[in-house]
Amino acid sequence: MMKSLLWSLWYCTSLLLSDVLATYHLSAGDPQVRAAQSYAQTRNNSRPPPRTLNPSKTDSQCRSHPMDLVFIIDSSRSVRPAEFEKVKMFLAHMVDTLDVRSDGTRVAVVNYASTVKIEFLLKDHFNKLDLKKAISRTEPLATGTMTGLSIKIAMNEAFTEQSGARPHSKNIAKVAIIVTDGRPQDQIEEVSSAARASGIEIYAVGVDRADMRSLQQMASIPLEDHVFYVETFSDIENLTAKFRRTLCGLDHCAKGHDCEHICVSSNISYHCKCRNGYVLNVDKKTCSLKQVKVAAVAEDPCKCEARVAFQRQTQVAIQQLTATLADVSRRIEHLENMMGRV
């Protein structure tokens, strides 16, 4: 019994060893095995490695029309560190699609939570490598969601000529892309309206818990072209292609226009708008300072003054009549006294 068991064990070991040697021999010389190994290696290599922000890597770009582009990114406490890294990666991929130059597209980043921090200005970086390095150094600010304040600071500080924005006379598009995952803790409707009236085109990107009504209040019209929503931060990179088509598509304003203030490009043409405080003239191209209408003074439509005058005249007449009656009464009394003496 023991000999039979040992013999079986030796036999199995011999078979296993021969299989190993045969495999080694085939792998060293058999073309089919080498092809199989090559296929397996190719399959393994096709698995995408974990994605990280690599400032030195650049993708193909489009020759987009020049822009002054400001990213306004939410880094409140609800945005976890790993999620914030995905936002930075989205910004870096967006930079890859743009024609970044001093006379092309300029980029700035405004970071906000309960406070607002301008990470870098439009005049700071004129090449993709420097831009992406600056984006990689951006850190979250943690608490609060002061979206309205961030839009106000972007409008008053990031989009100024002192910060690197081109003057309105050059007709360079001014674009803000806001990325947020929550509900603003301050008022956004009025400041967003002011920003749009100043010539800033606003795109609103909502993630996860973002409030859709707030996104719509911030964004430019048409809303279907300026409001985006994704369920997770992992999906935000999928928006890069959409923005690429939007920002790199046909721009009728870039081809030339005759708008005095602001040119707004559409799918088939463009139309003109005026800056805040101006109105578009009949020619739909030039702008005039908005006139403050002063309401004309009506000529007493209710006849109130005439009524008051009549009341005064009546009052005077009554007073005169009363005085006359009193005088007559005194005279009658005087006559009665005289008749009594006689």
Question: Are the C-beta atoms of residues 51 and 233 closer than 8 Å to each other?
Answer: no
- Phi then psi for residue 241, to 5 deg, are -65, -40
Question: Are the C-beta atoms of residues 193 and 202 closer than 8 Å to each other?
Answer: no
DSSP E strand stretches across 121-214: 173-180, 200-207
Q: Is 270 left (phi over 0), alpha (psi -120 to 50) or beta?
A: beta
| 273 three-state secondary structure | strand
Nearest-angstrom CA–CA distance, 218 and 87: 19
Nearest-angstrom CA–CA distance, 326 and 332: 10
Quick one: pLDDT at residue 36? 37
Q: Is 144 left (phi over 0), alpha (psi -120 to 50) or beta?
A: left
For the chain, the maximum distance between any two Cα atoms, rounded to a whole number of angstroms, is: 182
Quick one: pLDDT at residue 315? 79
Quick one: pLDDT at residue 234? 81
Among 153, 70, 160, 63, smallest CA distance to 106 is for 70
Quick one: pLDDT at residue 106? 96
Quick one: pLDDT at residue 105? 93
Based on the number of CB atoms within 10 Å of its own CB, is 145 exposed (0-12), middle (13-18) or buried (19 or more)? buried
Quick one: pLDDT at residue 342? 56
For residue 39, how many other CB atoms are within 10 A of its CB? 10
Instruction: Provide the b/e sequence for 213-223 (b: ≥16 CB within 10 Å).
Output: ebbbbbbbeee
CA-to-CA dists, residue 122 to 94, 136, 154, 237, 319, angstroms:
15, 17, 11, 23, 82
Nearest-angstrom CA–CA distance, 247 and 167: 20
- Phi then psi for residue 68, to 5 deg, are -105, 100
**What is 54-117 written as a DSSP string?**
-TT-------PPPEEEEEEEE-BTTS-HHHHHHHHHHHHHHHHHS-BSTTSBEEEEEEESSSEE
Quick one: pLDDT at residue 126? 94
pLDDT in tens, the chain (342 residues): 544 544 554 555 454 444 434 433 434 344 443 443 343 333 334 434 444 445 545 444 555 578 999 999 999 988 888 889 999 999 999 998 888 999 999 999 999 999 999 999 999 999 999 999 999 999 999 788 999 999 999 999 999 999 999 998 888 999 999 999 888 999 999 999 999 999 999 999 999 888 999 999 999 988 988 999 988 888 887 788 778 777 765 456 655 678 888 887 764 567 888 888 889 999 988 999 888 665 555 555 566 667 777 777 877 778 787 777 777 777 777 777 776 665
